[in-house]
Amino acid sequence: MSVKSTVPPAASPVRQMRYLKPFRQRVGEALSSYTARVLLQGLFTVFAVMTFTFFLVRLMPGNPVDIKIDQLMQTQGLTYEQARSQAAGLFDMDLNAPVGQQYLTYVQRVLRGDLGKSILSAGTPVADIIWRFLPWTLFSVGLGLLVSFALGVLIGAAMAYWRGGILDNVMTAVASILYSIPEYIIALLIILVAGVQLQLFQVGELRGGFNPDVAPGFTLEFIGSILKHATLPVITYVLATIGGWILAMKSSTISTLGEDYITVAKARGLSERRVLTAYVGRNALLPLVTRLSVSIGLVVGGSVIVEELFQYPGLGRQLLRAINGRDYTVMQGIFLIIAISVVASTIIADLMLGWLDPRVRVGQKATKG
Amino acid sequence: MPNDVVVSVRDLSVSYLARRGRVRAVNRASFDLHAGETLALIGESGCGKSTLNLALIRQLPKNATIDSGSILYTRRDKSVVDVLKLNKAELRRFLWSEFAMVFQGALNSLNPVIRVSDMVYDTAAAHGLNKAAAEKRALHLFEKVRLDPYRVFRAYPHELSGGMRQRVLLAMSLLLQPQVVIMDEPTTAVDILTQRSILDVLQTLREELNFSVIFISHDLAVAAEIADTIATMYAGDIVEVGPVNEVFYRPRHAYTLALLNAAPRLSAGAEELYSIPGSPPDLIHPPPGCKFHPRCTFATEVCRTVLPPLVAAEAGHQVACHHTDDVVTAYRKVSRA
């Protein structure tokens, strides 16, 4: 009953070749068709978003010059003439050129990797602004998403496992309520109730990404300060999104628990841990992966209102500033980055789903008998 | 004969707690399964066949309880195990190594995200069998059930057809050389040719490996072919037990007779198909007396009031019916016509 005796010896080399060939084919096919197709689709999406934002921002009422003139008149008390001449000197972009020509120049620059310069903060490259504020957003929103997803999945799975128990009943209500409150309301509640009424923290102190009195550097104090300042936005993101994860994971786990292969796994005498991880968990997670990818893509854009409310120095707040000041180039830059990250995370989610679920793996043909 | 009893079930009752009340799905079921014997449980959908078998391996859903009875299992070394008294860890070890099951939903019984090989390794690891030995045995069994062993071993479930998956399950159920394999309608989800080949494979394996089978089916032809003993269930009761030829050629219970009459025959031609009038009773408020009486053509006053006990008739036959003699006569008439 040895392994060899089950197969006629002559067949072995053929078998080996049959093993290798599909693998090589798979790699070839994936490279030639699927990956290429996905990348092309992605590029097209990014290009389309780039084009639309270019024209859409210019369709907004007003333009950067008028806004700047308004600002100068209000803040510095200048007359219209004075403000106009001062404002004109600030802009190095020819806003009077035909829009088509501006668009071509813009595309050429982007292709060279140049996102242009900010209109409002004259001379500052858009790329610099993005690099300066993006890490804060990535850190706070990313951490929020991670915590929310991990906690939500665990709680949701536990609720499904002990369905009808206290945890399930309480958390279903809590999750539904949290799920239905917009994040800016949560942020306001935190500031007003915890900060102003209960005085649990000083709202003013927690502005910005870190305490300016602490010297930036790789020190425990500085890192602590960063974490402290990120706490409130992160709590807001977690509270605002965890309800969705809990409810999604709960329903997904309940339907997975009802599958025949779970009963079979138990009947096979597998340990409870193995059943819960490889059999229940992995299958229940599949529907959440797609959802996660959309959320990851939106991390970059940050949360405009929450960052504004907590005065957190992220990209979302910069976007709001750019929109208010009609800073075309900064808006274009940030929207472009958001588009790229959404596309990229969708591709990553595709690959991840293929890794978790062999049924959607690409370039592999099912052999139905 | 009494010495080679592998599974002995006595007075086993299982009920589900439903919103409307308690559903007695299995009512005081008793039977013996001998070594190497194939027992077929037949009956309509919802008669308690599957519940009885889930109770045997203690995999009932959470809302079900075993109200009474005992399940005694005799190991190969003649030690006796009370299945209902095993604790969680003991039960885990007991399952599959002594008592395996091939489930109804063959297409859905394999974890879609891991390979067949991983499921074999998982099972082996749970029972302290090393990987190499498990692989060797699995490959051997896959070949026995007429699969391409290497390809199937490395495959994901979705790469296999329904018939192939069913055979994978059959092979997996024998991985740890259990004494008893429960098969819950293993051939209902596949086409007739695949069914044929699975039954052939099962026959061969049974002769070689000598395990007992509890076979659940509503397909009388399949049951007649594969079983040594037939047990008819109606509304949670075992109403008739006997050797296959006895039950099929000399049915003594009105319900078995009705089932046999309802089975379509190729030779029947344009003759109208017979079906049992009415539908299975509400098990929350079962009818008094014999539960089959509202649908029974033989029913008399006594059937409406007195529940017939399961009593021994001749030739190893047991039956719970007030009108055994009438049923036998009626069957003779039908078969002669």
Residue B238 lies inside a defined structural domain of this protein:
no
Please report residues of B whose CB lies closer than 8 A to that of A260.
103-105, 108-109
Residue A26 pLDDT exceeds 70: no
Q: Which residues pair with B213 in a beta bridge?
A: B38, B181
CA distance B285 to chain A (A): 27
CA distance A155 to chain B (A): 21
CA distance A146 to chain B (A): 24
CB contact under 8 A, B126 and A278: no
CB contact under 8 A, A359 and B112: yes
Of B95, B115, B163, the CB nearest to A267: B95
Please report residues of A whose CB lies closer than 8 A to that of B118.
278
Q: Is A15 on the interface with B (CB under 8 A)?
A: yes
Nearest to A317 by CA among A187, A123, A147: A187
CB contact under 8 A, B111 and A7: no
Of A6, A356, A368, the CB nearest to B113: A356
Residue A157 lies inside a defined structural domain of this protein:
yes
Q: Are residues B14 and B161 in the same domain?
A: yes
Q: How confident is the model at residue A13 (pLDDT cuts 50, 70, 90)?
A: very low
CB contact under 8 A, A269 and B164: no
B70: buried, middle or exposed (CB in 10 Å: 19+, 13-18, 0-12)? middle
Q: Are residues B223 and B307 in the same domain?
A: no
Least confident of A70-74, A245-249, B175-179: A70-74
Residue in B closest to A359 by C-alpha: B158
Residue in A closest to B125 by C-alpha: A270
Residue A164 lies inside a defined structural domain of this protein:
yes
Please report residues of A whose CB lies closer than 8 A to that of B139.
3, 6
CA distance B186 to chain A (A): 13
Q: Are residues B155 and B212 in the same domain?
A: yes
Q: Are residues B128 and B261 in the same domain?
A: no
B291: buried, middle or exposed (CB in 10 Å: 19+, 13-18, 0-12)? buried
Q: Are residues B163 and B303 in the same domain?
A: no
pLDDT at A32: 60
Residue B234 lies inside a defined structural domain of this protein:
no
Residue A28 pLDDT exceeds 70: no
pLDDT at A149: 95
CB contact under 8 A, B164 and A263: no
Q: Are residues B70 and B148 in the same domain?
A: yes
CA distance A170 to chain B (A): 21
Q: What is the CATH number of the domain that holds B28?
A: 3.40.50.300
Mean pLDDT for the stretch of residues A281-304: 83
pLDDT at B268: 56
Residue B142 lies inside a defined structural domain of this protein:
yes
Q: Are residues B168 and B299 in the same domain?
A: no
Q: Which domain holds residue A236?
A: 134-360
Least confident of A36-45, A117-126, B109-118, B219-228: A117-126
- Domain count along chain B: 2
Q: Are residues B291 and B217 in the same domain?
A: no
d(CA B193, CA A120): 77
Q: Are residues B180 and B106 in the same domain?
A: yes
For the sheet with B5-17, list strands across it: B22-34, B5-17, B64-74, B80-82
Q: How confident is the model at residue A326 (pLDDT cuts 50, 70, 90)?
A: confident
pLDDT at B214: 93
CB contact under 8 A, B123 and A6: no
Q: What is the ipTM metric for this complex?
A: 0.84
Q: Is A360 on the interface with B (CB under 8 A)?
A: no
Residue A80 lies inside a defined structural domain of this protein:
no
Please report residues of A whose CB lies closer than 8 A to that of B105.
260
Residue A142 lies inside a defined structural domain of this protein:
yes
CA distance B193 to chain A (A): 13
Q: Is A37 on the interface with B (CB under 8 A)?
A: no
Q: Are residues B88 and B128 in the same domain?
A: yes
Three-state secondary structure string covering chain B: CHHHEEEEEEEEEEEEECCCCEEEEEEEEEEEEECCCEEEEECCCCCCHHHHHHHHCCCCCCCEEEEEEEEEEECCCCCEEEHHHCCHHHHHHHECCCEEEECCCHHHCCCCCCCHHHHHHHHHHHCCCCHHHHHHHHHHHHHHCCCCHHHHHHCCHHHCCHHHHHHHHHHHHCCCCCCEEEEECCCCCCCHHHHHHHHHHHHHHHHHHCCEEEEEECCHHHHHHHCCEEEEEECCEEEEEEEHHHHHHCCCCHHHHHHHHHCCCHHHCCCCCCCCCCCCCCCCCCCCCCCCHHHCCCCCHHHHHCCCCCEECCCCCEECCCCHHHHHHHHHHHHHC
% of residues, chain A, pLDDT over 70 = 85
Q: Is A289 on the interface with B (CB under 8 A)?
A: no
Q: Is A96 on the interface with B (CB under 8 A)?
A: no
- Domain count along chain A: 1
pLDDT at B180: 93
Residue B67 lies inside a defined structural domain of this protein:
yes
Q: Are residues B215 and B269 in the same domain?
A: no
pLDDT tens sequence across A252-292:
999 999 888 998 899 898 988 899 989 999 999 988 988 88
Q: Which domain holds residue B145?
A: 2-227
Q: Is A368 on the interface with B (CB under 8 A)?
A: yes
Residue A315 lies inside a defined structural domain of this protein:
yes
Q: Is A366 on the interface with B (CB under 8 A)?
A: yes
Please report residues of B whose CB lies closer than 8 A to that of A366.
158-159
Residue B297 lies inside a defined structural domain of this protein:
yes
Per-residue pLDDT of chain B (337 residues), as tens digits, is 446 889 999 999 999 988 888 888 898 889 999 998 999 999 888 788 888 988 998 988 888 999 999 999 998 888 898 999 999 889 999 999 998 988 876 678 899 989 999 999 999 999 988 999 999 999 999 998 889 999 999 999 989 988 888 889 989 999 999 999 998 888 777 778 888 888 888 888 888 888 999 998 878 888 888 899 999 999 888 999 999 988 888 888 888 888 888 877 666 555 667 788 888 888 888 888 888 888 888 888 888 888 888 888 877 788 898 888 888 888 776 665 4
CA distance A18 to chain B (A): 10
Asked if B149 and B184 touch (Cβ cutoff 8 Å), the reply is no
Q: Is A367 on the interface with B (CB under 8 A)?
A: yes
CA distance B48 to chain A (A): 18
pLDDT at B334: 64
Asked if B174 and B206 touch (Cβ cutoff 8 Å), the reply is no
Please report residues of B whose CB lies closer than 8 A to that of A265.
111, 122
- Interface test mutation site (partner A, options B111, B121, B193, max chain A beta carbons within 10 A): B111
pLDDT at A180: 92
pLDDT at A31: 59
CA distance B156 to chain A (A): 7
Q: Are residues B211 and B68 in the same domain?
A: yes
Q: Is A258 on the interface with B (CB under 8 A)?
A: no
Residue A110 lies inside a defined structural domain of this protein:
no
Least confident of A39-43, A196-200, B15-19: A196-200
Q: What is the CATH number of the domain that holds A167?
A: 1.10.3720.10
pTM: 0.78
pLDDT at B274: 77
